[in-house]
Amino acid sequence: MLELLQSPLLSLLTFLGGLLVGHRTALWRDRRKEFNDAADPVRAWLLKECSAPNVMGGGPGRAEIDQLVQRMHWWRRKGFGAAWQRQQKAREDALHQDSWGQPLYRDTAQIKAALEACLAYTRRW
């Protein structure tokens, strides 16, 4: 047993295994950081809008959403895209103008539900 532990081949294999595990761990850490950096501004906007949807709220731009989607796992991209489209459609459906011509939302329940669905995809890793 002692001879096996002193074998250069075993030492080389364990060293290479350690390198591989360390490299993968560093890659996962970097990927999580990139996702969190992309998700934080979108999540902050979603949280603000969930409490009180605002017609003039602005929101994340197309580039910010694309950056977030590109950093998501491939199996979550389709779900987020569908939730984002539901949120956009709910806003369009609820939008109308008052007698002064100011845009506002009739009912915000569907908007809030759609925003909550989007919020689930922006949790930190």
pLDDT tens-digit map of 3-60? 756 788 888 888 899 989 888 899 999 999 999 999 999 999 999 999 999 998 788 9
Residue 117 lies in a domain: yes
Query: What does the DSSP 8-state code read for residue 56?
Result: T
Per the prediction, the chain carries an average pLDDT of 91
Residue 73 lies in a domain: yes
The reported pLDDT for the residue numbered 1 is: 57
Residue 91 lies in a domain: yes
When pLDDT is averaged across residues 99-125 and rounded to a whole number, the result is 93
Backbone angles phi, psi at 97, to 5 degrees: -110, 140
Residue 96 lies in a domain: yes
At 84, list the tokens.
Answer: 């984002």
Could you tell me the residue range of the domain that residue 80 belongs to?
Answer: 8-122
3-state percent breakdown (helix, strand, coil) of the chain, nearest 5: 75, 5, 20
Specify the number of domains making up the chain: 1
Q: At what angle do helices 8-51 and 62-71 cross, to 10 degrees?
A: 150
Say what the pTM is.
0.81
Lowest mean pLDDT among 32-36, 61-65, 97-101, 114-118: 97-101
Residue 1 lies in a domain: no
Under 8 Å between Cβ of 42 and 68? yes
Beta-bridge mates of residue 95: 105
Which H or E run includes 54? none
Residue 15 lies in a domain: yes
Under 8 Å between Cβ of 116 and 50? yes
